[in-house]
C-alpha cells in the first residue's frame, strides 16, 4: 500500500498483549488515514454510552498517507477517543516529528485498549514493540519523562507522553510529543492516564513507499512553491500564529475578562511583534514545513523564567485577555507550564477565566480558594491555579472538570458564562463580532473548536481558503443562512488535511487541484477533486454519527447563553449577539441532515455509511 505502512499495532493493556493487523485498502481509500481511519476504528469497536475514563474506551493514534513524506507540512498525525470532557467524539491533531517517527517505526497507527495494572510505557522500534514498566516515570513531567525514555531506549526515539495532569485525570489533559507539540484538545491525556499508559516512544528506519515518485515529487514541489510565495508564509514565518491577535482585537472579537467584552487596550503588549521583541530566541518548523510558524522563546530572568516553544495565539488569548493579564512573560510561563504538566492551554486558560468571574460575582469565595483571591489581571494567581488544577488540589479539583461540569456544580447562574460548546472550551474568537464563526463552533463534532472549519480566516483575518471554491463571507456582522454552506465546505475540506497528515494552514495557500495530485502521487490512486471532497464529507458524517449514538441532538448544537443574549458592551462590535437558529437550519439542510441534526439514511447511503446507521439508531 503506497503511502501507508500497511499495518496498525493493537495493544491490549489489560492482557499485556501486543499484536498487529493489516490496514484494509478499502478502508484506506474511504477514510484516507489520520482522524478518518482512526474514527472508523473507534466507531466500529466502541459501544454507545461507555465511560470515557473506563477500560472500554480506546485511544487510537493514526498517521496519514502524506505523513513523513516530502509533501509540504506533512508532519501531522491524529488521535481519537471518546472524550472525557464532552462525552462525545474526541479528536486531536499534532505536529512536530512524531508522525514521521511513528511511520518509520513500521506502523500507520496504534489502537490502545484496556487498562494496565501498573504504569506502563510502549516502546516501538523498527517494527518491534514492547510494553515496559513506567513506575519510575509516574509523577514526572513531560521533559523528564522524555529525557529518561530516550536515555534508556534510544536518543533517536520520539516520545509522546502525559504529564501529571493526565495522571490525575484532568478532563482536558493533553498528550505532548516533541516536548512542546500537543494532542491538546478533548482530554485525550486523561484517557491515556486512565489506562495507566505514561508514554509511547517510537522510531526506526522503515521507508515510506511512494507509488509514482516522479509525479509525486513534481506535485509536492509545485505545492511547496505556492506556499513559499504566499502571504501566509510571509506573515506566519515572521510573527507566528499570534499575528492574528491585532486583527481579532480590531474587529472587537478578542474575548476579554471571560468574554465580558471583545477588545482590550493592551494588545500591543501581547501580539506577534511583542513576542519577537520580548521573548523570541528562534523559530522552529514541524517536519517538512516551509513556514516555521513555531516560536522558540525564553524568559531569561525573574519569577517567570522559562525556555521552550511557544506561546501560540490560543495560549496568548486564553492566558492573556481572557484572564485580563497583560504581562507577556507571565503568559509565556503559563504556556510552558501547561506543556510540562500536559494541559490544553485553551481549556486551562478559559476555565481559570471562568473561575475569576465566579470570584468577581461572589460565586467562589476566598474560603473556596484556600484563603486566596482569584482576580482578573492577577498573573500570579492564574499561574498558581494551573499548578492546583494539574494536581487537583483544593478548588483545582473542581476546575479540573472543565467549565461545563464546574458550572453545574456551582450553579448560581454560572452556566451563563461557562464558555464552552458541548463541554469543550471556546478558542479566542468572539463570534458576536463575526456571526458565522459561531456556526462553526456549534457544528464542530468535537465541540467548541476553531479549526474544524476555521471560518475565522475569511472573517477575522480577511484571508480566504483556496481549498474550497468559495470561502468569502460578504458581511461577517450579519447572519446569512446561505453562507452556512461555506462552513460545511470548509469542514469537509479541512477534515481531509487531518486525515492525510498535512497542516490545515496549507488550505489557505493551496487549491484542491493542487493537493489532489500529491495524494494521487503517493498512493497511486486515480484520485479526483470530487473524491477529495466526498472523503472529507464521509469522515465528518461518521464523527457526527458517533455523537448521535452518544445521544447528541440539536439542543447540543448551541452557544453559551452569553453569546446569544448578552450584547458586547463596547468596541467595534458593540451591541451584537448571535442569532444562531436560521444559520443552523440552513446548515442542516446543506448537510442533508434532518431537523434534529441527524444524518439521514439517504445521506449515509450516498457516503457508503448506511451499514453503520443502525448502531446510531437511524433507519
> What is the full DSSP assignment across 513-557?
HHHHHHHHHHH-----HHHHHHHHHHHHHHHHHHHHHTT--GGGS
Strands (E) across 290-412 are located at 294-299, 306-309
Which residues lie across from 593 on neighbouring strands? Answer: 599
- 365 shares a domain with 396: yes
Statement to judge: residues 440 and 328 lie in one domain: no
Of 368, 386, 421, the one marking the end of a domain is 421
Q: Do residue 370 and residue 480 come from a single domain?
A: no
| Closest C-alpha to 247, from 460, 426, 434 | 460
Cβ–Cβ < 8 Å for 158, 202: yes
Choose one of 398, 421, 444: the last residue of a domain: 421
Statement to judge: residues 325 and 463 lie in one domain = no
- Please indicate, yes or no, if residue 426 is contained in any of the structural domains: no
pLDDT for the residue numbered 19: 98
At 379-402, the pLDDT tens digits run 999 999 999 999 999 999 999 999
pLDDT score for 403: 98
Dump the DSSP string for 11-34.
EETTTTEEEEEEPPHHHHHHH-SH
| pTM of the predicted structure, to 2 decimals | 0.98
Q: Around Cβ 119, how many Cβ atoms within 10 Å?
A: 19
Q: Exposed (0-12), middle (13-18) or buried (19+): which is 515, by Cβ within 10 Å?
A: buried
| 590 within domain boundaries | yes
Q: Are residues 41 and 176 in the same domain?
A: yes
CA distance to 88, 115, 117, 124, 174, per residue, from 197 (Å)? 22, 8, 10, 14, 13
Do the domain assignments include residue 591? yes
What is residue 619's predicted lDDT score, i.e. its pLDDT? 81
What is the domain-level CATH number for residue 247? 1.10.569.10
pLDDT of 464: 84
Instruction: Give, in order, the Cα–Cα distances in Å from 274 to each of 242, 268, 612.
Output: 10, 7, 51
Residue 135's closest CA among 160, 158, 167, 98? 167
Spans of the chain, pLDDT less than 70? none
CA gyration radius, the chain: 22
Same domain, 410 and 509: no
Same domain, residue pair 97 and 179: yes
User: β-strands 120-125, 181-183: how paired?
Assistant: unpaired
Residue 317 and residue 187 in contact, taking contact as beta carbons nearer than 8 Å: no
DSSP 55-87: TT-EEEEEE-TTTTSSSTT---EEEEEE-TTTS
Same domain, 414 and 440: no
Is residue 235 in a domain? no
Reading the block at residue 572, the C-alpha cell is: 467595534
The verdict on residue 396 lying in a domain is yes
The CA distance from 395 to 25, in Å, is: 50
Do 445 and 543 contact (CB within 8 A), yes or no?
A: yes
Burial of 368 (0-12, 13-18, 19+ CB in 10 A): middle
* CATH, residue 546: 1.10.599.10
One domain, residues 67 and 147: yes
What domain range includes position 399? 242-421
What's the total number of domains in the chain? 3
Task: Say whether both 344 and 447 belong to one domain.
Answer: no
Closest-CA residue to 505 (of 349, 288, 320): 288
Are 507 and 477 within one domain?
yes
Q: Which of 147, 179, 203 is the last residue of a domain?
A: 203
In a domain, 231, yes or no: no
Amino acid at each position: 500500500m503506497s503511502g501507508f505502512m500497511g499495518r496498525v499495532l493493537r495493544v491490549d493493556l489489560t492482557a499485556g498483549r501486543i499484536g498487529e493487523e493489516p490496514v484494509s485498502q478499502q478502508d484506506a481509500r474511504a477514510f484516507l488515514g489520520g482522524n478518518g481511519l482512526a474514527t472508523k476504528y473507534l466507531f466500529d469497536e466502541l459501544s454507545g454510552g461507555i465511560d470515557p475514563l473506563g477500560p472500554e474506551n480506546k485511544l487510537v493514534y493514526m498517521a496519514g498517507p502524506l505523513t513523513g513524506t516530502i509533501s509540504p507540512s506533512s508532519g501531522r498525525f491524529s488521535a481519537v477517543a471518546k472524550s472525557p470532557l464532552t462525552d462525545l467524539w474526541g479528536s486531536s491533531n499534532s505536529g512536530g516529528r512524531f508522525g514521521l517517527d511513528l511511520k518509520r517505526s513500521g506502523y500507520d497507527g496504534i489502537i490502545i485498549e484496556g487498562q494496565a495494572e501498573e504504569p506502563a510505557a510502549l516502546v516501538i522500534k523498527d517494527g518491534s514493540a514492547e510494553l515496559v514498566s513506567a513506575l519510575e516515570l509516574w509523577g514526572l513531567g513531560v521533559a523528564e519523562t522524555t529525557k529518561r525514555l530516550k536515555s534508556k531506549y534510544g536518543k533517536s526515539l520520539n516520545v509522546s507522553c502525559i504529564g501529571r495532569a493526565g495522571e490525575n485525570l484532568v478532563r482536558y489533559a493533553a498528550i505532548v510529543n516533541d516536548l512542546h507539540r500537543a494532542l491538546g484538545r478533548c482530554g485525550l491525556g486523561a484517557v491515556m492516564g486512565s489506562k495507566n499508559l505514561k508514554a509511547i516512544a517510537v522510531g526506526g528506519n522503515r521507508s515510506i513507499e511512494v507509488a509514482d515518485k516522479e509525479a509525486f515529487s513534481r506535485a509536492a514541489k509545485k505545492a511547496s512553491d505556492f506556499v513559499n510565495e504566499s502571504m501566509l508564509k510571509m506573515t506566519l514565518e515572521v510573527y507566528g500564529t499570534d499575528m492574528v491577535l491585532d486583527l481579532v482585537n480590531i474587529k472587537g472579537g478578542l474575548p476579554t475578562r471571560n468574554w465580558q467584552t471583545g477588545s482590550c487596550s493592551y494588545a500591543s503588549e501581547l501580539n506577534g511583534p511583542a513576542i519577537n521583541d520580548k521573548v523570541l530566541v528562534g523559530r522552529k518548523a514541524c517536519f517538512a514545513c516551509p513556514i516555521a510558524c513555531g516560536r522558540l522563546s525564553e524568559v531569561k530572568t525573574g519569577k517567570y523564567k522559562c525556555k521552550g516553544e511557544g506561546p501560540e495565539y490560543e495560549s496568548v488569548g486564553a492566558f492573556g485577555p481572557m484572564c485580563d493579564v497583560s504581562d507577556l512573560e507571565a503568559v509565556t510561563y503559563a504556556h510552558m507550564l501547561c506543556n510540562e504538566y500536559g494541559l490544553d492551554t485553551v481549556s486551562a486558560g478559559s476555565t481559570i477565566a471562568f473561575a475569576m468571574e465566579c470570584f468577581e460575582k461572589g460565586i467562589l469565595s476566598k474560603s473556596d480558594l484556600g484563603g486566596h483571591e482569584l482576580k482578573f489581571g492577577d498573573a500570579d494567581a492564574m499561574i498558581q491555579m494551573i499548578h492546583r488544577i494539574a494536581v487537583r488540589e483544593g478548588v483545582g479539583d473542581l476546575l479540573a472538570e472543565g467549565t461545563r461540569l464546574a458550572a453545574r456544580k456551582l450553579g448560581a447562574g454560572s452556566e451563563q458564562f461557562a464558555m464552552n460548546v458541548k463541554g469543550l472550551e471556546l478558542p479566542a474568537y468572539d463570534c458576536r463580532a463575526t456571526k458565522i464563526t459561531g456556526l462553526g463552533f456549534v457544528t464542530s463534532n468535537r465541540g467548541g473548536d476553531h479549526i474544524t472549519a476555521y471560518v475565522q480566516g475569511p472573517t477575522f483575518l480577511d484571508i480566504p481558503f483556496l481549498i474550497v471554491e468559495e470561502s468569502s463571507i460578504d458581511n461577517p456582522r450579519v447572519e446569512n443562512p446561505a453562507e452556512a454552506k461555506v462552513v460545511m465546505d470548509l469542514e469537509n475540506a479541512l477534515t481531509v488535511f487531518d486525515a492525510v497528515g498535512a497542516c490545515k494552514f496549507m488550505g489557505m495557500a493551496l487549491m484542491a487541484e493542487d493537493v489532489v495530485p500529491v495524494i494521487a502521487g503517493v498512493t497511486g490512486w486515480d484520485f479526483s477533486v470530487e473524491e477529495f471532497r466526498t472523503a472529507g464529507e464521509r469522515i465528518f458524517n461518521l464523527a457526527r454519527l458517533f455523537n448521535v449514538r452518544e445521544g447528541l441532538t440539536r439542543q447540543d448544537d448551541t452557544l453559551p447563553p452569553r453569546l446569544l443574549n448578552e450584547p458586547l458592551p463596547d468596541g467595534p462590535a458593540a451591541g451584537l449577539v448571535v442569532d444562531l437558529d436560521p444559520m443552523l437550519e440552513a446548515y442542516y439542510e446543506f448537510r442533508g441532515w434532518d431537523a434534529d441534526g441527524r444524518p439521514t439514511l439517504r445521506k449515509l447511503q450516498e457516503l457508503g455509511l448506511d451499514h453503520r446507521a443502525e448502531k446510531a439508531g437511524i433507519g
